[in-house]
Amino acid sequence: MKTKNITPDFKIWLEKTDGKYILGSGGANLLKFIRETKDLTKAGKMMHISYRKAWNILQKIKKNYGESPVITHRGGKGGGGGMKLSDLGKELLGIYEEFYEIMNQAKNEFLKNHL
């Protein structure tokens, strides 16, 4: 190959069949961190984004898909509320992660054979 200092890469996002954007890498990472921490504040901090921005990502998914990717529960007097992925959130994250892995393997195979 004559070109130097380049490498192919890719971005993945999920959209509805009508073309409405549902989820990209930021939303997928947020869902992953919510799955791990069960807390939106902690998940946002892991991504270096504010609670409000994290909440807005979830609301955009809900608006565009028509269903929430998370289930929230309120805490008592001492706090302790939390969040977990809904079945939709688990499914979206699973599809994203599986497709990402397939594409990453294809990229690595291409690089091995061509660069």
Bridge partner list, 73: 82
Structure tokens at 8: 């192919």
- pLDDT score at 2: 61
Tell me what the pLDDT averaged over the chain comes to. 92
Say which CATH number the domain at 22 has: 1.10.10.10
The answer to the question of residue 37 being in a domain is yes
Tens of pLDDT along 96-109? 999 999 999 999 99
The answer to the question of residue 4 being in a domain is no
The answer to the question of residue 10 being in a domain is no
The answer to the question of residue 42 being in a domain is yes
The one-character DSSP state at 76 is B
The answer to the question of residue 106 being in a domain is yes
Count: domains in the chain = 1
What pTM, to 2 d.p., does this model score?
0.88
Tens of pLDDT along 21-52? 999 999 999 999 999 999 999 999 999 999 99
**Under a CB-based contact definition with an 8 Å cutoff, are residues 86 and 69 in contact?**
yes
The answer to the question of residue 13 being in a domain is no
The answer to the question of residue 23 being in a domain is yes
Residue 90 buriedness (CB in 10 A; 0-12 / 13-18 / 19+) = middle
In terms of residue numbers, what domain contains 45?
18-114
Least confident of 13-17, 37-41, 70-74: 70-74
The answer to the question of residue 48 being in a domain is yes
